[in-house]
Structure 1
């Protein structure tokens, strides 16, 4: 087995001092000429020298790594935002460690502890209720954290999320203009008061009221995914059934599509359907699905940029809530017969 190369070997090969090699590795090029830089680079390549990343991190007091903890990586939103975060971090010389908490507070806490043990320079988190004390302690220590998608009562930190009430307003307004009157909203569990779910229902209610329509509590359903079949059965068994449904997110949408298929309910004819979150199959579904899209890549870019600024500038600044505007993509799942869609 060949001997592991050291800085001393590189210095000897390049005919420079060890401190010059160290400066090169830390990208401090101002005190060396182009010819010296070339010799060091060639020596590193020829010797296949691999720097000790851990030792360099301890010396720099930075690992150039951030942690990203998402509540549920199965959401299309999560994967799209992560992609944008990774792009920004890579462009700035940072690596990312992605963790999926599965909406489980204990798993989330374990990941927080693991990432801190790995000395990541900051965290981007889609927070789950149950770890308020852990986050509060880190924020009081001025540790760089940015929340994504969700607010946490009692915690004041920079947060990037959608204007969720506006998303529901777009959905309800579009359905009303297209002749639908009895509009239901279906989403995942409301037990933990998850910000997007609660805000989207609030936006649904306020838009109905603004249009003079009575809010019907039985048209509002928040359920665990494994209870959707029973919940949709109950919704479609009402004396006065909904003529349109707003799906609260992409996972909810999958359950609705499964249910309507199994029960011969024709979307766009028997029921209007609009979903919050654009999905890849939206344009090719039959009928194509009307969606409320989040600017996921812009949100991911912003949350990463905010965190990197916090890492570089440790000064305490007033946290800001950054809201992004949703947009509607109109397709045929909300086109009622006899009414021209807009």
Structure 2
């Protein structure tokens, strides 16, 4: 039987100390160790079939080095992309991520929280659903490390990383107005969640600041579980008005996908008959005949920040960190009546609105 590899056997073969081997295999002090030595240690560990004793490690540190992640729906491109970023960032710090979908259901959210706590995860990253406020307050009362991501409850003081959703909608509508569109419609979700309310507020504020009258018939709010028939009905209403809309703002990636399908199947000319802006960057937008203007969320920065904040909280850091990050408005042919500029332009946006900030780069609005 092959003798079980140990830190000492790896250290002896590489010619370094067991402490250094431990640092490398536990992803610590990477910046103070040469990449060549670190890679040699990992290769030797693999060659010797070394497996760390997670149970012993947990007993020694009183940690499981696992993080629980709760997203709204892992099949949604936004959620899956964010989960992958968090998984990669956590791995750099020696943590494993386990995750589940709440499906916007508070009962399922509670079940996931209970399951993760029973598995003794060291902390949680949560995209909270409506009705989960009591769950968040309970975690806060238990002083359990967690971070909210994408959504948060303004009335609950806790760590979060989110988008400045008001600014996103304001930018979208302001852009459409600047390009000569007179009747701007919006299809959104009828949700009490703060981020969706902020998207609606940004739409209305942009109209107000340009002395445009808000027309209630131009705003349609669908239920969370909307169908393609609901989208068809919304477009039928907006385009069937005595003065039909000449631009549409779709406030989620799912609304964008269904909306563009309707536009395509009904052969509506974009942007000549209808200008379009959709929320989030998805591969589906690239398949549309006219390049689609989109509001892009800084997913990499959001996932990285949420992970860093949580790991700091696990280390008993009681600092409150709240990040409202800026969106990117990527302007393409679907929203401009005069065509695209020949040259790619970049306009500096204000940095993220931050309380107790991490070191994050300011975001930009890109015209591409």
- TM > 0.5 fold call: yes
Candidates 240, 254, 257, aligned match of 1:254: 257
Task: Report the Cα distance in structure 2 between the residues aligned to 1:112 and 1:126, rounded to whole angstroms.
Answer: 12
Candidates 299, 316, 320, aligned match of 2:318: 316
Do 2:173 and 2:207's aligned partners in 1 also have CA atoms closer than 8 Å? Answer: yes
Deviation, structure 1 residue 98:
1.9
In structure 2, the gaps of 5 or more residues are 29-40, 342-368
Do 1:67 and 1:98's aligned partners in 2 also have CA atoms closer than 8 Å? Answer: yes
Deviations 1:212-260 (A, max 9, x none): 0011112111213212222222222222211100010111101101211
Aligned to 2:208: 209
Task: Report the Cα distance in structure 1 between the residues aligned to 2:44 and 2:169, rounded to whole angstroms.
Answer: 60
Deviation, structure 1 residue 24:
7.4
Task: Report the Cα distance in structure 2 between the residues aligned to 1:331 and 1:198, rounded to whole angstroms.
Answer: 26
Aligned pair in 2 of structure 1 residues 45, 245: CA closer, same or farther (>3 Å)? Answer: closer
Further displaced range: 240-249 or 49-58: 49-58
Further displaced range: 74-83 or 243-252: 74-83
Deviation, structure 1 residue 196:
2.2
Aligned to 1:333: 334
In structure 1, the gaps of 5 or more residues are 30-39
Task: Report the Cα distance in structure 1 between the residues aligned to 2:23 and 2:333, rounded to whole angstroms.
Answer: 57
Aligned pair in 2 of structure 1 residues 309, 331: CA closer, same or farther (>3 Å)? Answer: same
Do 2:260 and 2:288's aligned partners in 1 also have CA atoms closer than 8 Å? Answer: no
Do 2:125 and 2:310's aligned partners in 1 also have CA atoms closer than 8 Å? Answer: yes
Task: Report the Cα distance in structure 2 between the residues aligned to 1:155 and 1:149, rounded to whole angstroms.
Answer: 15
Aligned to 2:123: 122
Deviations 1:48-78 (A, max 9, x none): 5644423432342101111111112233322
Q: Which has the larger radius of gyration?
A: 1
Q: Give the secondary-structure state (helix, strand or coil) at the position aligned to 1:278.
A: coil
Do 1:84 and 1:298's aligned partners in 2 also have CA atoms closer than 8 Å? Answer: no
Deviations 1:121-159 (A, max 9, x none): 101110012222222121112111100111225421111
Deviation, structure 1 residue 174:
1.0
Aligned pair in 2 of structure 1 residues 243, 45: CA closer, same or farther (>3 Å)? Answer: closer
Query: May I ask how many residue pairs the two structures share in their alignment?
Result: 319
Aligned to 1:195: 194
Task: Report the Cα distance in structure 1 between the residues aligned to 2:194 and 2:90, rounded to whole angstroms.
Answer: 26
CA-based RMSD of the aligned residues comes to 3.1
Aligned to 1:293: 296
More contact order relative to length (CA 8 Å, sep ≥ 6): 1
Aligned to 1:222: 221
Candidates 232, 242, 245, aligned match of 1:242: 245
TM-score by length of 2: 0.77
Deviation, structure 1 residue 80:
2.4
Deviations 1:83-113 (A, max 9, x none): 2212211111111112111111111111111
Q: Give the secondary-structure state (helix, strand or coil) at the position aligned to 1:245.
A: strand
Do 2:183 and 2:244's aligned partners in 1 also have CA atoms closer than 8 Å? Answer: yes
Aligned pair in 2 of structure 1 residues 136, 181: CA closer, same or farther (>3 Å)? Answer: same
| 1:1-342 equivalence runs, <5 A | 48=49, 50-188=51-189, 190-191=190-191, 193-224=192-223, 225-226=226-227, 227-312=230-315, 314-317=316-319, 319-336=320-337, 339=338
Task: Report the Cα distance in structure 2 between the residues aligned to 1:154 and 1:45, rounded to whole angstroms.
Answer: 49
